């Protein structure tokens, strides 16, 4: 039944709020997405992952779902969605739905019922515990922290009970140990699979299983207090297999899991083919190469060796018995050309194309976040009011609480904010960047849209989009680029990334200058007389094994 279609797929991520607003109400919508499907297909994508389209009160912009079987009104109707599915399939684009099932919205009828009375049949669908009395004070049941700052527990009204939320307080964690919850989730997956969707992206999946009884984290897990009790929990592998047996394996479906700092051992087990859990997970370790300890608001000088390790290690460890994914951006990260020490005014084209080359020629399925293919940059937000993501505000308030001056706190937030990825798409230089016809969008537009937009990119001699087209053609059609084994060279080098891919008797060499300085490099032996497949500069200066790379130049060679 399984055809493993994901192995030479290219996935394009659409964040529906900000892609295209067809009815000029300030929100992106399904009709808008349909109008841009040719653009996505022509890029070379073969699948689209839609960030949540379901009914949601939007405390976390769609990641707090209040009905898993309904499309949110602002995006359209179920009939619109069905048309979208059909239009995608007509263009040979597979459809991957986001599944946010670690938690539901607190406005979901299950949760409302659960907290309405202690006898509610839904009470045990969530994680509800009595607080701890200390004198007159009522403390939360444990010291666990939410990923979005503060306690992970919220008191239920004036009762002495609390519910667990590992994200916003409007996102209540489900109790996966309750078989009724799993039955319902299986049913939801089958509902969408029966409609014809081709796969799922599971949101923060490795938090589904928690360690009971609930207890304090005395060691204070270094990443987040409590994490050792709710990351890679005791039943994770069993629950994923159950979803597979009862839903995923009944269709030719694909899954990608978004994991939260998994252990190496668990990460491997999630994607190991014979385990029948997930097809792939995301690896984000390389995206932490310019922040401190994975905390994205805390900037540090870019460390290329850390980037290389994060990008290439999973390619080696999952190669034998699993599959990998390749990511540069998503709706939770700033734009890639505006970080990693890159000057996005001076080297936007060079860096965007270099990043794509060194990332997507690796082992794994490419994921491209909308706008990345046109080299869109971060936004120069002027004040906190322009930021819509609640996380930006939580962290800002926390920093100010610690006594950080407002200006400094704002500069940290601006560095790591998810809002950068969530401003409306910049299609052209018309009002609101062509996102709509002039109604104020839900999130401010990047004022640079007049200068940096899709139309301008397509008209330019240095088009990031057209480079992506060429690169993705190679990625999909060259067997070595799909199946080759990755081997890194010269890990210690602080400017150059260089690796090979080997498949049968063929080899690809991928090289990138991750710096703004012209750099000489001696290519690995065995590369005698290689054929150049692609470079982001017209001229590639090689003589014998010596190559001289321009700022952010990248090249791929093939040796047959």
Residues at the site binding ligand GLC, with contacts judged by CB under 6 A: 60, 63, 100, 167, 203-204, 258, 331-332
Residue 463 beta carbon to ligand GLC: minimum distance, rounded to whole angstroms: 29
Place of tokens 């938690």: 103
Nearer to ligand GLC by Cβ, of 231 and 358: the residue is 231
In 215-238, which positions are buried (b, 16+ CB within 10 angstroms) versus exposed (e)?
Answer: eebeeebebbbbbbbbbbbeebbe
Spot the catalytic one: 173, 203, 350, 419.
Answer: 203
Nearer to ligand GLC by Cβ, of 252 and 266: the residue is 266
Nearer to ligand GLC by Cβ, of 100 and 556: the residue is 100
User: Quick check: 12 and 366 in contact, CB under 8 A?
Assistant: no
Cβ–Cβ contacts within 10 Å for residue 123, how many?
17
Nearer to ligand GLC by Cβ, of 207 and 474: the residue is 207
Residue 232 beta carbon to ligand GLC: minimum distance, rounded to whole angstroms: 16
Residue 270 beta carbon to ligand GLC: minimum distance, rounded to whole angstroms: 16
Residue 367 beta carbon to ligand GLC: minimum distance, rounded to whole angstroms: 12
Spot the catalytic one: 145, 258, 350, 558.
Answer: 258
User: Quick check: 15 and 36 in contact, CB under 8 A?
Assistant: no
Helix (H) or strand (E) holding 509: strand 506-513
The number of residues making up the chain comes to 560
User: Quick check: 464 and 352 in contact, CB under 8 A?
Assistant: yes
Nearer to ligand GLC by Cβ, of 74 and 308: the residue is 74
Vertex 467 angle, CA 94 and 339, to 5°: 90
3-class DSSP assignment, residue 424: coil
Q: Tell whether the torsion through CA atoms of 184, 190, 195 and 201 is positive or negative.
A: positive
203 tagged catalytic: yes
Residue 179 beta carbon to ligand GLC: minimum distance, rounded to whole angstroms: 23
Nearer to ligand GLC by Cβ, of 328 and 549: the residue is 328
Please list, in sequence order, all residues whose beta carbon lies within 8 angstroms of the beta carbon of residue 552, skipping any fewer than 6 positions away.
Answer: 342, 347, 350, 351, 353, 354, 512, 513, 514, 515, 516, 536
* Beta bridge pairs of residue 433: none
Residue 341 beta carbon to ligand GLC: minimum distance, rounded to whole angstroms: 25
Residue nearest to ligand GLC (CB): 63
Q: What is the largest CA-CA distance in the chain?
A: 79
Q: Tell whether the torsion through CA atoms of 375, 380, 385 and 389 is positive or negative.
A: positive
Place of tokens 């969408």: 192
Active site (catalytic) residues: 203, 258
């Amino acid at each position: 039944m399984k055809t493993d279609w994901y192995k030479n797929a290219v996935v394009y991520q659409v964040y529906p709020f900000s892609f295209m607003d067809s009815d000029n109400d300030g929100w992106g919508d399904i009709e808008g997405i349909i109008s841009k499907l040719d653009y996505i297909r022509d890029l070379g994508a073969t699948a689209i992952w839609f960030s949540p389209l379901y009914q949601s009160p939007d405390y976390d912009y769609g990641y707090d779902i209040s009905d898993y079987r309904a499309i949110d009104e602002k995006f359209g109707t179920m009939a619109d969605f069905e048309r979208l599915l059909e239009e995608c399939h007509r263009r040979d684009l597979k459809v991957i739905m986001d599944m946010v099932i670690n938690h539901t919205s607190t406005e979901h009828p299950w949760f409302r019922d659960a907290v309405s009375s202690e006898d509610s049949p839904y009470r045990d669908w969530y994680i509800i515990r009595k607080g701890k009395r200390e004198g007159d004070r009522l403390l939360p049941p444990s010291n666990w922290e939410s990923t979005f700052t503060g306690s992970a527990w919220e008191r239920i009204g004036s009762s002495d009970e609390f519910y667990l939320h590992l994200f916003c307080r409007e996102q209540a964690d489900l109790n996966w140990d309750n078989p009724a919850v799993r039955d319902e989730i299986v049913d939801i997956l089958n509902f969408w699979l029966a409609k014809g969707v081709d796969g799922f992206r599971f949101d923060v999946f490795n938090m589904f299983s928690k360690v009971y009884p609930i207890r304090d984290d005395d060691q204070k897990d270094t990443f987040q207090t409590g994490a050792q009790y709710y990351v890679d929990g005791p039943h994770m592998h069993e629950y994923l297999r159950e979803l597979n047996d009862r839903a995923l394996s009944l269709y030719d479906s694909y899954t990608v899991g978004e994991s939260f700092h998994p252990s190496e051992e668990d990460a491997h087990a999630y994607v190991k083919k014979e385990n029948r859990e997930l097809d792939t997970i995301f690896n984000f370790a390389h995206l932490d190469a310019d922040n401190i300890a994975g905390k994205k608001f805390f900037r540090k000088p870019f460390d290329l060796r850390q980037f290389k390790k994060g990008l290439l290690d999973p390619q080696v460890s999952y190669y034998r018995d699993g599959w990998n994914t390749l990511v540069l951006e998503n709706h939770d990260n700033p734009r890639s050309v505006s970080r990693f020490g890159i000057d996005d005014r001076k080297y936007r084209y060079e860096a965007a194309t270099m990043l794509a080359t060194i990332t997507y020629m690796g082992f794994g399925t490419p994921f491209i976040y909308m706008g990345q293919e046109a080299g869109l940059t971060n936004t120069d937000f002027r004040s906190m009011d322009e930021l819509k993501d609640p996380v930006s505000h939580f962290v800002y308030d926390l920093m100010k609480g610690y006594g950080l001056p407002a200006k400094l706190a704002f500069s940290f937030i601006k560095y790591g904010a998810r809002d950068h990825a969530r401003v409306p798409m910049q299609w052209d230089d018309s009002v609101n960047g062509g996102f709509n016809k002039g109604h104020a969008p839900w999130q401010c537009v990047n004022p640079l849209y007049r200068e940096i937009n899709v139309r301008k990119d397509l008209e330019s001699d240095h088009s990031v989009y057209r480079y992506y087209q060429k690169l993705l053609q190679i990625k999909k059609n060259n067997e070595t680029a799909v199946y080759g084994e990755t081997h890194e060279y010269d890990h210690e080098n602080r400017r150059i990334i260089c690796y090979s891919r080997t498949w049968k008797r063929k080899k690809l060499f991928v090289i990138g200058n991750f710096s703004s300085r012209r750099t000489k490099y001696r290519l690995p032996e065995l590369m005698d007389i290689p054929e150049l497949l692609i470079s982001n500069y017209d001229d590639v200066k090689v003589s014998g094994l010596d190559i001289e790379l321009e700022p952010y130049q990248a090249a791929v060679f093939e040796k047959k």
